[in-house]
Amino acid sequence: MSERRACRVIDADRKSVRYRSTQDDDAQLREKLRELANQRRRFGYRRLHILLRREGVMINRKKTQRLYQEEGLAVSRRRSRRRAVGTRAPAPVLALPNQRWSLDFVHDQMASGRRFRVLNVVVDVTRECLAAVPDTSISGRRVVRELTALIERRGKPGMIVSDNGTELTSNAVLAWCEEIGVEWHYIAPGRPMQNGYVESFNGRMRDELLNETLFISLDHARVEIAVWVEDYNRERPPSSLGHATPAAFAAELDKQWPASPRPTGSAAQPIASTALIRNNAARL
């Protein structure tokens, strides 16, 4: 059957049947997207879109999503742990540089099976990672030394938040707090979301680094963690900061509030913070 007769039978426009797309196959763009996805295996299309725009590729976010799906680059989902439920009422924290630090440990092991831990120190407002200290053992005295070195570089924070681990409740830490006059707040036992900023950071570190890297030795772990932290502070675009990097966001805050007197009370905008303790008695 001729094309003319076939189109008449199915009532189709011959121009539509003969049409051939002239759209580019975006081969270079697809290659660039695959390259970025291989470098950032735990980044979804939104963050990859931000990275493409940084490199001068000005395309619509929906096109990035379409190419991302067509290339089969979806991030594999890992089985999540059971999450706690309950009311989470935020306590305000002033959006100022160096206002509050959060501390926590994250654990991993080397290829030999020997375990090590990483002390992470995060600025709640700017999401910066001030320190990620890996070692096989970190005592309360070691925590004090690391914090003292940080204060010499960054100045004294308004508050430090941590859980009730033995290293963080040791006599060395308590004596240090009293000596330098830093307020140290301990979250309620079994309530990690009261320390949500550093817990979120720990999750990103585990997902993007610890689960993706086989550490040969402690020195290897120190190098890889230092490189990842530098990339996290200066390249990674967290959505909570409007896709600005933590370093850029901190620099902008420093411009708004120079080192001389900082506002108190309502003069600075509050940000969401830790959760309050859930009232279990109300459920009985």
Percent of all residues in the chain with a pLDDT value above 70, rounded to a whole number: 83
Exposed / middle / buried, residue 85 (Cβ in 10 Å: 0-12, 13-18, 19+): exposed
Q: Residue 124's CB: how many other CB atoms inside 10 A?
A: 23
Please tell me which residue, 227 or 251, carries the higher pLDDT value: 227
Over residues 138-159, mean pLDDT: 92
| 43-47, 215-219, 250-254: segment of lowest average pLDDT | 250-254
Cα→Cα distances 109→129, 132, 142, 167, 210, Å: 21, 16, 20, 20, 9
Q: Is residue 229 classed as helix, strand or coil in its secondary structure? A: helix
> What pLDDT is attached to residue 278?
41
C-alpha span between 282 and 284 (Å, rounded):
6
Q: Find tokens 């900082």 and name the residue.
A: 262
pLDDT tens, position by position, 90-135: 345 556 778 889 999 999 999 999 999 999 999 998 899 999 999 9
C-alpha span between 35 and 75 (Å, rounded):
14
* CA-closest candidate to residue 102, choices 186, 23, 190: 186
C-alpha span between 81 and 83 (Å, rounded):
6
At 67, the amino acid letter reads: L
Mean pLDDT of the chain: 82
Which element (helix H / strand E) includes 47? helix 45-54
